[in-house]
A and B are shown apart, each in its own frame.
Chain A
Amino acid sequence: MTFINYVAREINCKIVYYGPGLGGKTTNLQYIYQITSSENKGKMISLATETERTLFFDFLPIDLGQIRGFRTRFHLYTVPGQVFYDSSRKLILKGVDGVVFVADSQEERMDANLESVANLAQNLKEQGFDLGKIPYVLQLNKRDLPNVMPIEELTQQLLVKGEPVIEAVAPQGIGVLTTLKAVARQILVELRKSA
């Protein structure tokens, strides 16, 4: 749910990073946290297991700057990727404004990617959203690993609706900000349309 505060002159939006387990969703947020100046970010919260796997979600509030005198504040969330945490994933999609799908480019993770996209579509539907209409970006992560699938093949199998496709190496920050800005742009364009 986009929240426009005309008193504080702020636009607040929620972005969820979705994808299979160990695909790099948390790493995306950690990189954004590291490179954002302290005045433009809040505290990063990670509700994780003792082995640092996401248990419920990671949360990072950031400020991307001003437009027309309004501060643009984005609340970034990740979901737990492991299959058995499906109830948690549904809850985190509540009130979402845009989704980033973080795909794992490794050949052996293709099935997990496909399963996760299908799961996203279903869970969005249950929350009253349509994957075909919501702001959405496909990030192809782990492009530095030796056993990755070609971009064309990944795109062919994972593309949902002609969304932006961004190659990434999240620990090095490659593609991370481009991904965030691509989804933020779609959200703001949608907001402008809704006026």
Chain B
Amino acid sequence: MSSNTFDLHEVEFRRIQAILAKMQKELRAELVLLISRSGQPIVVSGTAERIDCTALSSLAAANLAATDGLANIVGEREFSVLIHQGRQRSLFISDLLKRFSLVLVFDAAASSGLVRYKCKRTTLLLEDVIRDFQRRIEKTGSVTDTPQFSDEELEELLGP
């Protein structure tokens, strides 16, 4: 995992998925996502069929980035948590290690205090997983096995 790539392997995926699923169940949330700050969905837990997770991730990352910009303008380092209150559904977005973000779609009737508390706890657990992964890379060298495609395969995909 260099600064400009993030590799998700089975072990980390299972751990992250278990953490997200637990929070989803506890809060009876519709959807919980771990996304990259560049707007890509990484792990999703919940009934995603009715929500476009790719679009949601892109807009959530943009929203968080824009809010960081607003924070800087008013002299704050960051606004690390965003809550959008809707009539039926609400949205919670929070920063995670400046490279990721936790996004939650939940029932608007749920207590936002409880959501904040559970999300904070979940964020700490996710940070542990990511730090463990980084430590493992530092100890063993890269765990990356980036697909070693040939020039011919690249040509087949994109043309000459």
* A interface residues, Cβ below 8 angstroms from B: 1-7, 11-12, 14, 42-43, 45, 56-57, 59, 61, 64-70, 72, 75, 87-88, 90-92, 94-97, 128, 181, 184-185, 188-189, 191-192, 194-195
How many inter-chain contacts with C-beta < 8 Å in the A-B complex?
A: 129
Q: Which of B105-160 contact A (CB under 8 A)?
A: 142, 144-149, 153-154, 156-159
Chief secondary structure at chain B's binding surface: mixed
A4 touches B146 (CB 8 A): yes
Our pick among A88, A96, A195 for the contact of B38 (Cβ within 8 Å) is: A96
Residues of chain A with a CB closer than 8 A to B148's CB: 68, 192, 195
Give the residue name and chain of the B residue nearest to A184 (CB). B158
Residues of chain B with a CB closer than 8 A to A56's CB: 62, 66
B36 touches A3 (CB 8 A): yes
The answer to whether A7 and B4 touch (CB under 8 A), given A59-B55, A192-B149, A195-B145, is no
19 sample A-B contacts, Cβ–Cβ < 8 Å, listed by A number: A1-B38, A2-B4, A3-B42, A4-B8, A14-B38, A14-B40, A42-B54, A57-B62, A61-B58, A67-B147, A67-B157, A68-B147, A75-B39, A75-B54, A97-B4, A188-B149, A192-B147, A192-B148, A194-B146
Q: Told that A59-B39, A64-B157, A91-B62 touch, could you supply 10 new A-B pairs with CB distance under 8 A?
A: A1-B36, A3-B36, A14-B38, A59-B58, A69-B147, A75-B38, A87-B69, A94-B38, A188-B149, A191-B5
Interface size on B, residues (CB 8 A): 41
A56, chain B: closest CB distance, angstroms:
7
B48 at interface (Cβ–Cβ under 8 A)?
no
B8 touches A45 (CB 8 A): no
Cα–Cα distance between A24 and B65 once the two chains are bound (Å): 25
A5 touches B36 (CB 8 A): no
Residues of chain A with a CB closer than 8 A to B84's CB: none
